[in-house]
Amino acid sequence: MKRLAFVAIVGRPNVGKSTLFNYLVGKRISIVEDTPGVTRDRLYAEVEWTGRNFTLVDTGGIDTLSEDVLFKQMRLQAQVAIDEADLIVFLVDGRQGVTAADDEVARILRHTQKPVLLVVNKLDVPALFAHAADFCRLGLGDPVPISAANGMNIGDLLDLIVNRLPAAAPPEYGEDIVKLTVMGRPNVGKSSLVNSILGEERVIVSDIPGTTRDAVDTYFERGDSKYVIVDTAGLRKQAKVREDIERYSVMRSLRAVDKADICLMVIDATEGILEQDKKIIGYAHEKGKGIIFVVNKWDLVVKDDWTADKFKQKIYAELQFADYAPCIFVSAKTGQRVPKILELVSAVHAEQTKRVRASVLMELVTEATVVTPPPQVRGKKLKIGYVTQTDVKPPTFLFLVNDPLLMHFSYLRFLENRIRAVYGFSGTSIRLLTRKKE
């Protein structure tokens, strides 16, 4: 899978970054409030324009003049976004004109060696577009006048973004190599687990959360199988970023997910599933990756005959969208059950690449619709004329129907469950697409 380009929206607080992000994404994701500092974490979403997809990143404001701890943390996170971005959208406030803070942010961006689009926001009518010329003195090229609040000139902005993106990078590794990403919060034992899988000290292991600041690829082989395993920086909440020297980045973790086939989601057995875990598992699920829950530090848990089953039930109750993912209980410290992780990886990879013939799919779907007919919408009934598998990693199924609007998501979920009941696909999400049959 090709990696998507990253586009970061940066600027001082309260210039409309979250409003622009929401408009480009097409739905309200960031909190929009007329108070500086509302967006404290980066948010991410995939955007498509004229056939080109990219990942858009909303950042907290860069306030170079404030000594407030919160703003220092936001500066750090915005700087990480700048470091990782392929293109930077520098947003300024056209109503206020050029400020000292804009000058300072522009100075930072001029030294990044990254392509920058200077975008002047809050110019709500074309008659105000001339005010954008005042920002030429920032030395970042011709300003682009827009209004994020009412969508003025957004199409032209998207054209410029797509034209400035780098060419799509080819996959870094061949299809014969299984790409693994080790995910999880800091200090859950990711690096220890990688070392235990590899059988040697290839990754720094420390009790200090956040030791692994970058995603590091390690190639290895087991028998006839080839792997690349990536140990990523731990995912932690913004409020816990305390040291300015720490360049921990969620974005690097997301990039590691993007290029992975299978994500090993490491969960601390002594803490269970937390909110940060849910976010990254949700991202991996949406990207169609294989997922394996690896519950580490199992040696520290006081157990009875039902402890493992209860722990699994709790995981699946909180992560119902990923209830297809297998779960294994290990101890990276003692090596308990660690060798079985690669056995699970092989099984999930086989499921990811499994193909089902159209004829047997059609037979299964026909039987399912007879037993449980699709609901009617305003007297009109859904008819499925044909179904076929169009792709793998993740397995993707196309349904040709009389009217795609009649295919309710709940019925798609029913069909997915029927397909899984017969063909498994354990460990991988599957995608069901509908298209009108001509």
Domains and CATH numbers, the chain: 5-164 (3.40.50.300), 177-351 (3.40.50.300), 358-436 (3.30.300.20)
Closest by CA to 401, choosing from 237, 411, 393, 137, is 411
Structure confidence by residue, pLDDT tens digits, 93-115: 998 899 888 888 888 888 888 89
Give the C-alpha separation, 99 to 91, whole Å: 12
Assess whether pLDDT exceeds 60 at residue 426. yes
pLDDT of residue 37: 37
pLDDT band at 392 (very low <50, low <70, confident <90, very high): very high
Say which range, 2-6, 91-95, 400-404, has the weakest mean pLDDT.
2-6
Assess whether pLDDT exceeds 70 at residue 298. yes
- Residue type at 121 in one-letter notation: N
Instruction: Report the chain's C-alpha Rg in angstroms.
Output: 24
Assess whether pLDDT exceeds 70 at residue 163. yes
Give the C-alpha separation, 247 to 239, whole Å: 14
Q: How much is the pTM?
A: 0.67
Structure confidence by residue, pLDDT tens digits, 114-143: 899 999 999 988 888 888 999 999 999 999
Assess whether pLDDT exceeds 60 at residue 34. no
pLDDT of residue 52: 87
Helix ranges (DSSP H) in 90-217: 100-110, 154-164, 190-198
Q: In whole angstroms, how far apart are CA 263 and each of 55, 238, 257, 360?
A: 19, 23, 7, 30
Q: In whole angstroms, how far apart are CA 56 and each of 99, 227, 341?
A: 26, 30, 34
